[in-house]
Structure 1
């Protein structure tokens, strides 16, 4: 895992091991976004599938 912030991917989930320690950004080059709903209608219905617990 890289600790470099990717300024193109904003993230405030500090519990994720991919979170940049210095800024509210992800350290990955890209992420996968998914859903837990059959018919998502709001952003709360989406999930970062790249999340990994620290």
Structure 2
């Protein structure tokens, strides 16, 4: 999460956008049993979106 936050700050995203992105990344990670996103593929994203 910290690396994502750093990237968003570096690219000058608004604070509200940063909070929103981090919120959804957190949901994604919890939905996939705390597996780091770098270890997941597109199928995990599709699984989350179908589950919502």
Same fold (TM over 0.5): no
More strand by percentage: 1
Normalised by the length of structure 2, the TM-score is 0.21
Normalised by the length of structure 1, the TM-score is 0.21
More helix by percentage: 2
Higher relative contact order (CA 8 A, sep 6+): 1
